[in-house]
Amino acid sequence: MINFFRKIRQQLLSENKTGKYLKYALGEIILVVIGILIALQINNWNELRQENFITQKYYDGFVTDLEKDRILLEFLISARKKQSISANALLRMIESEEYDLDTFYNHYYFLFPFYRFTPNSNTLEEVLNSSHLRFITDETIKNRILDLRSSYKSIKLNEEHVYEDRAAYLYNDLTLNHIDFNGLFIADTGFEVIKKREESFSKSKDVERYKKDAEYFIKDRHFKSFLNLLEFNLQFVIPQIEAASAECDSIITLIEEKLGSDNIR
């Protein structure tokens, strides 16, 4: 093709057709420019398609991670609310000094399970580590995901605080001298993984030991203080977890609307 154009130019020059030569040269330049522009446009289309693919990948990843987080947060909310109910029930028993043995221990042993919240941040970490945050063009979504990440850190910090207060009391030597861990398998905590067999504390062969230990906790000032502190912390932690769960839902909705309005999918 280049040789073809060259022959035409040479022929025009040899025939002293300078005017036609200049017009032809100008036309050739215009064709080259148009070709370059078309090539650039095609390249831009390919880059845009690749960016849209990466953007969809990240948005889909965020939705998947947030849906998993929401399930974990809802479970944690349920567990923490049940622990709050148990703490308050035990406090009422301590105040009245009246209790049913099975009811006491069903609430007591529910204070033991601890559920760590580990958010699913694989997609966000990939985005941040690969410097691809620019592909998340919606500033609202980007900022809310980053804010939620900060909320997760605060939740984990507060959960660790609850754990440390709980461990400081439940696992000290004095308390352990009045705990029979076999009770974990008797207590009706609502979790089948813990309750392995049909049994009750009042009908257990160790009922007298359970009664003696229950009396100890009912009269133990430190146990009452621990319950009050636990309930105080839970009243602060539970709303924080609920807010994070609601934010997961809200961000998922924003992403779905974004994908639909931009026709990324």
Give the lowest-confidence range in 11-15, 23-27, 47-51. Answer: 11-15
Q: What is the reported pLDDT for 33?
A: 67
Q: What is the reported pLDDT for 109?
A: 86
Q: What is the reported pLDDT for 47?
A: 66
Domain count, the chain: 1
The arithmetic mean of pLDDT across residues 39-60, rounded, is 74
Q: Is residue 124 part of a domain?
A: yes
Residue 194 has pLDDT above 50, yes or no: no
The full DSSP string for 160-210 is: HHHHHHHHHHHTSHHHHTT--GGGGGTS--S-TTT--S---STTSTTHHHH
Residue 240 CB neighbours (<10 A)? 14
The boundaries of the domain holding residue 118 are 58-261
Q: Please indicate, yes or no, whether the overall pTM of this predicted structure exceeds 0.85.
A: no
- Collapsing DSSP to helix, strand or coil, 243 comes out as helix
Q: How many CA atoms lie within 13 A of 99 on its CB side?
A: 29
> What is the C-alpha to C-alpha distance for residues 31 and 34, in angstroms, rounded to an integer?
5
Q: What is the pLDDT of residues 71-96, one digit of tens each?
A: 999 999 999 999 999 999 999 999 99
Q: Is residue 198 part of a domain?
A: yes
Specify which of 119-133, 227-241, 250-264 reaches the highest per-range mean pLDDT. 227-241
Residue 245 has pLDDT above 60, yes or no: yes
Res. 10 pLDDT band, cuts 50 70 90: low
Helix count and strand count (H, E) for the chain: 8, 0
Res. 12 pLDDT band, cuts 50 70 90: very low
Compute, in degrees rounded to 10, the torsion defined by CA atoms 4, 10, 13, 18: 30
Q: Is residue 84 part of a domain?
A: yes
Higher pLDDT, 110 or 252: 252
Q: Is residue 44 part of a domain?
A: no
The 8 Å CB, 24+ separation contacts for 217-225 are 217/108, 217/178, 218/93, 218/94, 218/97, 218/99, 218/104, 222/169, 222/174, 223/94, 223/169, 223/175, 224/91, 224/94
Q: Is residue 89 part of a domain?
A: yes
Q: Is residue 32 part of a domain?
A: no
> What is the C-alpha to C-alpha distance for residues 195 and 76, in angstroms, rounded to an integer?
19
Specify which of 44-58, 178-192, 220-234 reaches the highest per-range mean pLDDT. 220-234
Q: What is the reported pLDDT for 93?
A: 96
Res. 54 pLDDT band, cuts 50 70 90: confident
The arithmetic mean of pLDDT across residues 49-72, rounded, is 87
Mean pLDDT over each residue of the chain, to the nearest integer: 80
Q: Is residue 203 part of a domain?
A: yes
Q: Is residue 216 part of a domain?
A: yes
Residue 239 has pLDDT above 90, yes or no: yes
Q: What is the reported pLDDT for 193?
A: 44
Which residues, 6 or more positions from 20, have their beta carbon under 8 angstroms from its beta carbon? Answer: 12
